[in-house]
Amino acid sequence: MISDKMTQAFNEQVNREMYSAILYMSMSAHCNQEGLKGFANWFMVQYHEEMFHAMKIYEYIQRQGAQVNLGAIQAPPTTFESPLEMLNQTLAHEQFITRSINDLMELAISEKDHASQIFLEWYVTEQVEEEENDNDIIAQLKFIKDNPQGLMMLDRELAGRATTVPTDFSKGIESAMAASGA
What is the rounded CA–CA span in Å between residue 55 and residue 73? Answer: 15
Work out how close the CB of 127 gets to ligand FEO at its nearest, in angstroms, rounded to a whole number: 6
Q: What is the DSSP string of 33-93?
A: HTT-HHHHHHHHHHHHHHHHHHHHHHHHHHHTT--------PPPP---S-HHHHHHHHHHH
Residue 139: which residues within 8 A CB-CB, separation 6 or more? none
Q: Which residue is nearest to ligand FEO (CB)?
A: 53
Q: What would you measure as the largest C-alpha separation in the chain, in angstroms?
A: 55
Burial of 2 per CB tally in 10 Å (0-12, 13-18, 19+): buried
What is the rounded CA–CA span in Å between residue 83 and residue 145? Answer: 10
**Site track for ligand FEO across 64-103, x = CB under 6 A:** ------------------------------x--x------
Our CB check for ligand FEO shows the closer of 14 and 31 to be 14
Among 18, 25, 53, 58, contact with ligand FEO (rule: CB under 6 A): 53
Is residue 50 within the footprint of ligand FEO (CB under 6 A)? Answer: yes
Work out how close the CB of 148 gets to ligand FEO at its nearest, in angstroms, rounded to a whole number: 29
**Site track for ligand FEO across 15-34, x = CB under 6 A:** --x--x--------------
Is residue 130 within the footprint of ligand FEO (CB under 6 A)? Answer: yes
Is residue 13 within the footprint of ligand FEO (CB under 6 A)? Answer: no
What is the rounded CA–CA span in Å between residue 166 and residue 174? Answer: 10
Work out how close the CB of 88 gets to ligand FEO at its nearest, in angstroms, rounded to a whole number: 15
Is residue 155 within the footprint of ligand FEO (CB under 6 A)? Answer: no
Q: Which residues bind ligand FEO (CB under 6 A)?
A: 17, 20, 50, 53, 94, 97, 130
